Every structure is written in C-alpha cells, then in structure tokens.
Amino acid sequence: MEDFRLFLIGASAGGRMAVEKVLENLSHKTPAAFMVVVHSSFDMISSFSSYLNKKVEMEVLECKENIEIHPGKIYVGVPNQHMVVLDGKLSNTNGPRENLFRPSIDVLFRSAAVAYGNRCVGILLSGRLNDGTVGLEAIKRCGGESLIQNPKTAEFSGMPMTAQKFVEIDYTAELEDIGDLIKEIIEKPLPEEVEIPYALKREAAISTKIRSQVKTEDFLGEQVALSCASCGGPLWKIKDTGISRYRCHVGHSFSEESLLLAQNENLEETLWVCLRTLEEKKVLMLNMAESFREKGSEQIARSYSDKIQEVDEHIDRLRRIMDIRD
C-alpha cells in the first residue's frame, strides 16, 4: 500500500493504560499497522494482548515467528523476547538485552526503522529512565517521524522527557489526543525518503541475529575502560548518536543511566553474597569452637574468639554500608 505506515509504540511504567487510551478509538480499517512493546519482567505471564483485544476495535495479536504485517492490526511483544522486523515480517528473538530489557523498545524501533524507513512513526508513552530514546533517534535517522506523550502530564515522565532532550520531536500531545493525531498523520504525505545509515543496519543485525563480534563494535564505536554489567566483557562507546550509550561484543547495550543502574544492582548483589558468607563463616567457627570445648580443648576453643570477633566487626561494617538494622 502506498500510504501504509507503521506506528511503533513504546511504554514502560504506567504504559499499559496509556497504550489502551491511544488505541481505543482507532478503526480496523486504519491503513497502518501498530506494534507495541511495554517493558515487563522476563517471567511475567503474557496477558496484555488478550486484555487489549477486549478494549479496542482492531485485532490484537501476540508477536510470533515470521508473522505477516497487515494494516488495521495491533502486534504486541511478549515477555523475554525481542519483537523485531525481519524481511518485512515480525519475529521473536532471544537477542541480548538492551537497557536491561527484553523485549526492548529500542530494538523494535531500530529494526522497524531499518526495514521501513520513512513509513515509521515512533511513539513514546509513560515510562521511567531513558528507554526508547535511542530507538526514536534511529527512526528519525531513517526518515521516520517521532511522537511523544506530553511529559508534563504523563504518569511517569522519564521516557518522553529524555527523548525530548536528545531527539528532534515532531509531535508532542496529551494522551487523550494521540489517537486523533495518529489519524491526522496518516492523512499527510510520507516524509522524504532517506538512505538508511549503515551503522544502524549493523546494530539491528546484532539485536536480531546475535551476530555481534569485536570487529563490529570497533566499527560502531571506541572501546572504553568499562565492563558490561551483564556479562563482564569489554564495552564500546557507540558513536554517531545523541545519547551516550555502550555495547559489549556479545551485544548487551546500555545507556549511561541504565549502565549505572545495572552496576548498582550488581554491587548490591555482591554485598549480599559477602554478608551471607560472613554470617555462615561465623556460624561455622562457633560450631568448631563448641566442638573443641566439648572435647576438653578449651585453649583451642578460645583461639576462635578473636577470629569470631573479627568476623562480627566485618558483618557490622557491611550492615552499616547497606543500612541494615537488626
């Protein structure tokens, strides 16, 4: 179809209600397809598509392998699978997480932008942090358009507000007005077609086919003295992008904000392991001291007292760092 468009909708915290509001009054005769990724926990039961089917006129389908894209339908990403556009069809992939998420808004936006260029319209709704900004930037670089929910009235303003800072936004609208704005965009001519940047094609291949390698990362950016918070491998800082972000050669991708968040989580997990190990060490030494005492070896039993006291001091110090109270 000459006027066919793809509307790519990304949301996170507070996003399910927002997605429903955007799509509730759109007709199944709309000459556009809609693809939705709402960030979720990897072990969440997939139920949003069945819920949405009861609330909107268009048919809502969960993304499956090699599913054809048709106008007047809504396609929803499932937990723990990236939704990607490959050879004009939708597919699922277990590709590396981006900004700690799979499915990732950025992965969908980028793959669709590379495949459909100026036919894409990226929409960012309520959500925390800066997820979706990189994907929205990719859509713009491929000739598409960008639309965000007004950050001032979004339930969670982080995602649309960050996009506003780093990407040239074509439309900013109140949530209740986005559906009508979509209809207006469809009536307008397509933006001018542009050449798809080769670097975006390479990044899309990393996310969709897990074909990352060190040579690819050297092409995309410069290696830095940081390690991946997911796999521990080296990181490359990606060039030609408005927002600072990083990739490892496995393909994990982070903005600076999400990398810091992941490092904090890893550090907290490490501290918990240390605390548990010290507690277990204390119990073991108490048991050994009691065993020697029962055998009449009081001197050996007393020798453990200093060691137990030292462990207690380490435990107290860790508890203070972690602000844990008995």
> Of 148, 172, 187, at which residue does a domain stop?
187
- Residue 202 in any domain: the answer is no
Is 283 part of any domain? Answer: yes
**Residue 293 domain-assigned (yes or no):** yes
Question: Is 39 assigned a catalytic role?
Answer: yes
Same domain, 220 and 98: no
For residue 231, being part of any structural domain is answered with yes
Q: Based on the domain organization, do 273 and 228 belong to the same domain?
A: no
- Same domain? 129 vs 239: no
pLDDT for 251-275, tens place per residue?
788 878 778 877 877 777 788 888 8
> How high is the pLDDT of residue 1?
57
Among candidate residues 12, 111, 253, 258, the one labeled active-site is: 12
267 and 315 together in one domain:
yes
Residues 6+ apart with CB under 8 A from 304: 285, 286, 288, 289, 292
Instruction: Report if residue 86 sits inside a domain.
Output: yes
Q: Are residues 17 and 47 in the same domain?
A: yes
318 and 279 in one domain?
yes
Structure-model confidence comparison of residues 214 and 303, the more confident one: 303
Q: Looking at 251, 273, 298, which one is the last position of a domain?
A: 251
Give the C-alpha separation, 111 to 8, whole Å.
11
pLDDT (mean) for 127-155: 94
Q: Tell me which residue of 9, 34, 6 sits closest to 114, measured CA to CA.
A: 6
Domain of 109, in residue numbers: 5-187
Residues 317 and 219 in one domain: no
Residue type, 97: R
Query: Does residue 199 sit within a domain?
Result: no
Share of the chain above pLDDT 70, in %: 93
pLDDT tens digits, one per residue of 171-203 = 999 999 999 999 999 999 999 999 999 889 988
Which residue out of 49, 82, 91, 131 is catalytically annotated?
A: 131
Same domain for 151 and 271: no
DSSP E strands, the chain: 5-11, 32-38, 59-62, 67-68, 73-76, 82-86, 89-93, 120-124, 145-149, 171-173, 221-227, 234-238, 245-248, 253-255
H helices of 65-142, where?
Answer: 105-116, 133-141
Answer positive or negative: Cα dihedral of 123, 19, 112, 156: positive
Domain count, the chain: 3
- Do both 172 and 284 map to the same domain? no
The last residue of a domain, from among 251, 281, 300: 251
pLDDT at residue 146 greater than cutoff 90: yes
Q: Copy the structure tokens of residue 197.
A: 């940047």
Residue 12 catalytic?
yes
What are the tens digits of pLDDT across the range 54-84? 999 999 999 988 899 999 999 999 988 999 9
What does the pLDDT read at residue 109?
97
What is the domain-level CATH number for residue 119?
A: 3.40.50.180
Identify the active-site residue in 39, 82, 249, 252. 39
> Within this chain, do residues 134 and 14 fall inside the same structural domain, yes or no?
yes
Q: Is 131 part of the annotated catalytic residue set?
A: yes
